[in-house]
Amino acid sequence: MRQVKLLSALLLLLAVPACSARRSTHTTLRQTIFQQTTVNDLLPDVADGSFEDLTESDTAFDDLVENNSPAELFSVPPGAPIKTLREEDDSTVLMLSNLPGYSLTFKQPKLCDTSVRQYSGYLNVDSDKHFFFWFFESRTSPAKDPLMMWLNGGPGCSSLLGLFMELGPCMINPDGNGTHVNQAGWNTKSNVIFLDQPLNVGYSYGTGVSNSEDAAKDVYAFMQLFYTAFPRFQQHDFHLFGESYGGHYVPAIGDEIRRNNKGAQADGYHVINLKSIGIGNGLTDPLVQYKYYGDMACKNSFLSKEQCASMDAAYPTCARLINLCYRFPSSFACVPPAAYCNKQMLEPYVRAGYNPYDVRVKCDPSTPLCYSEITAITKYLNLPHVMRELGAKVSKFDSCNTDINRQFMMAGDWMRPYVRKVPKILEAGIRVLVYAGDADFICNWMGNKAWTIEMEWAGKSKFSATKDQPWTVDGIDAGEVREVGPLTFLRVYKAGHMVPYDQPANSLDMINRWLAKESFLN
């Protein structure tokens, strides 16, 4: 039991992480759902312009989805429990385009940063899928600035943690009774969607999924409905960013968009104008990432010689198990390496009392995942007036859902090679930013840099041969960068697992340069 509890804590990786008909059956349905709808039809107040189940398959991972027809709108659910709901509120309900059951339930809350237009609520699909979102328009030029989606990790952690701890328009107050404006919010020059996903994370609820592949299908469908509800943003550049377990989510979603964009217009879909993806301190290539836990812990003298020797001795077995998962990505092959490698490679560091998200500080055991801000955020998002203002339908907000975490773990999703989707994204002309705070342990910069160098893609040899260059902000060293064509790796100095939390000004410089397609080289 002790091991299960410890693994559950480790696997949360905060980032503080029956549809069987084929394509032809859905052509008319898709055209009905996703036909172009005017702003006046849906949101008159803003008209001013202001399946493949991986747990059962032993097919090579690359072939699981690449040659299939576009996925069903939503995947086969594993039977996740439905949350207890609140009574109906005064949210505006808009039915979407002649399809019963598809709707947008939204409010315009007066919370966080009231200087920008914002929307919160749910995109609903029939009675069993309800995605909570909080959307903030840009502080600069909403009509021109790009659209961005932010996802926290876990799996099972709410993206509202990223909103209130890292990059949102406001930060949580220590007492959890309010917020204050964040001048380094990423909506300075972008319109930002914070999405609670997978289902049953944060305020979202419904029949959920248990792997990143199926979660990607849900997010793709969410974006289709979002564009139907907010068509004025459809032509904007779209950027997808995530943290921690976002190293799984973001490549999966990016590749889902890439594949489905090919025949989107012919099938009645909106083409998603995906320009880039970003992964912050992510778990993308476990085989490479786990190799560097020993280096990160032992070269910094956190552990004893005996503990370091034990970690070094365990990695060859860990690598063999992960390789089996890479060859045969079924739950049978992929659960054992997660259990073994996490116990052997992560547990020694955590047992020593260190913060797995920041090697510079000890973990406060009285707080969730080492951070008191999570307690404050959870308190705030459970305040009755806040829930009413946001239009929350669930009776309780949890910052991280351990049931979701466990379901993903037992489905074998943890060790699957989502890194193999990244080359296809690069080849499609979609830029990729991998950034990592250099004080993080659990998704450390060494492992993230290593997989970007080792990854097989057209620019591998040039990327491997390129030397790191300094990245400076206002004349001060902020990190080091390696960029070749569409791929960039950025090491961020003096930052842990959550780069915007530790380096708000530098992270804003990072995201603004990236969105503007400006080099990090000075």
Burial, 497: exposed, middle or buried (Cβ in 10 Å; 0-12, 13-18, 19+)? buried
pLDDT of residue 192: 99
Rounded distance between C-alpha atoms, residue 418 and residue 260, angstroms: 18
Using an 8 Å Cβ cutoff, are 240 and 149 in contact? yes
**Cα 175 from chain centre:** 27
Burial, 29: exposed, middle or buried (Cβ in 10 Å; 0-12, 13-18, 19+)? middle
Burial, 56: exposed, middle or buried (Cβ in 10 Å; 0-12, 13-18, 19+)? exposed
39 domain residue, yes or no: no
Rounded distance between C-alpha atoms, residue 94 and residue 230, angstroms: 12
84 domain residue, yes or no: yes
> For the chain, how many helices (H) and strands (E)?
20, 15
* CA-based nearest residue to 273, from 257, 251, 255: 257
Task: Select which of 358, 440, 502, 509 is catalytic.
Answer: 440
Rounded distance between C-alpha atoms, residue 478 and residue 510, angstroms: 10
Q: Ramachandran region of residue 5, left (φ > 0), alpha (ψ -120 to 50) or beta?
A: alpha
pLDDT of residue 434: 99
Helical segments of 163-241, H only: 212-229
Rounded distance between C-alpha atoms, residue 161 and residue 168, angstroms: 9
The dihedral through the CA atoms of 353, 358, 360, 364 has a sign that is negative
Instruction: Give catalytic status of residue 126 as yes or no.
Output: no
pLDDT of residue 33: 28
3-state secondary structure of 388: helix
Residues in the chain: 522
For 424, other C-beta atoms within 10 Å of its C-beta total 17
The dihedral through the CA atoms of 196, 201, 203, 208 has a sign that is positive
Instruction: Give catalytic status of residue 63 as yes or no.
Output: no
Type and span of the H or E element at 276: strand 274-280
103 domain residue, yes or no: yes
| φ, ψ for residue 279, nearest 5 deg | -125, 120
211 domain residue, yes or no: yes
Fill in the amino acid letter for 133: F
At which residue do the structure tokens 């920041």 appear? 358
* CATH number, domain with residue 99: 3.40.50.1820
CB contact set of 180 (below 8 Å; sequence gap of 6+): 170, 171, 173
Rounded distance between C-alpha atoms, residue 484 and residue 464, angstroms: 9
22 domain residue, yes or no: no
Here the tokens at position 112 are 């966080």
Q: How far is CA 395 from CA 80, 201, 203, in A?
A: 17, 13, 9
- DSSP letter at 275 equals E
506 domain residue, yes or no: yes
Here the tokens at position 99 are 């399809």
Helical segments of 179-304, H only: 212-229, 246-261, 286-289, 293-298
The two beta strands, 147-151 and 238-243, are parallel
Rounded distance between C-alpha atoms, residue 133 and residue 147, angstroms: 14
At which residue do the structure tokens 């980032």 appear? 15
Here the tokens at position 73 are 């709108």
Q: At what angle do helices 331-341 and 305-327 cross, to 10 degrees?
A: 170
- DSSP letter at 131 equals E
The two beta strands, 129-136 and 147-151, are unpaired
* Number of domains into which the chain is organized: 1
Query: Which structural domain, as residue segments, surrounds residue 219?
Result: 51-285+418-515
pLDDT by residue for the chain (522 residues), tens digit each?
Answer: 333 343 444 444 433 333 323 333 233 323 322 333 222 332 333 223 332 233 333 333 343 334 333 233 222 233 333 455 555 567 777 775 544 567 888 899 999 999 999 999 998 877 789 999 999 999 999 999 999 999 999 999 999 999 999 999 999 999 999 999 999 999 999 999 999 999 999 999 998 899 999 999 999 988 988 998 899 999 999 999 999 999 999 999 999 999 999 988 888 889 999 999 999 999 999 999 999 999 999 988 888 999 999 999 999 999 999 999 999 999 999 999 999 999 999 999 998 889 999 999 999 888 888 999 999 999 999 999 999 999 999 999 999 999 999 999 999 999 999 999 999 999 999 999 999 999 999 999 999 999 999 999 999 999 999 999 999 999 999 999 999 999 999 999 999 999 999 999 999 999 999 999 999 997
Rounded distance between C-alpha atoms, residue 246 and residue 82, angstroms: 24
Q: What is the pTM of this model?
A: 0.85
Task: Select which of 159, 210, 244, 331 is catalytic.
Answer: 244
For 327, other C-beta atoms within 10 Å of its C-beta total 12
106 domain residue, yes or no: yes
Task: Select which of 196, 204, 497, 502 is catalytic.
Answer: 497
Instruction: Give catalytic status of residue 218 as yes or no.
Output: no
Here the tokens at position 173 are 């107050």
Rounded distance between C-alpha atoms, residue 107 and residue 110, angstroms: 9
Rounded distance between C-alpha atoms, residue 494 and residue 19, angstroms: 47
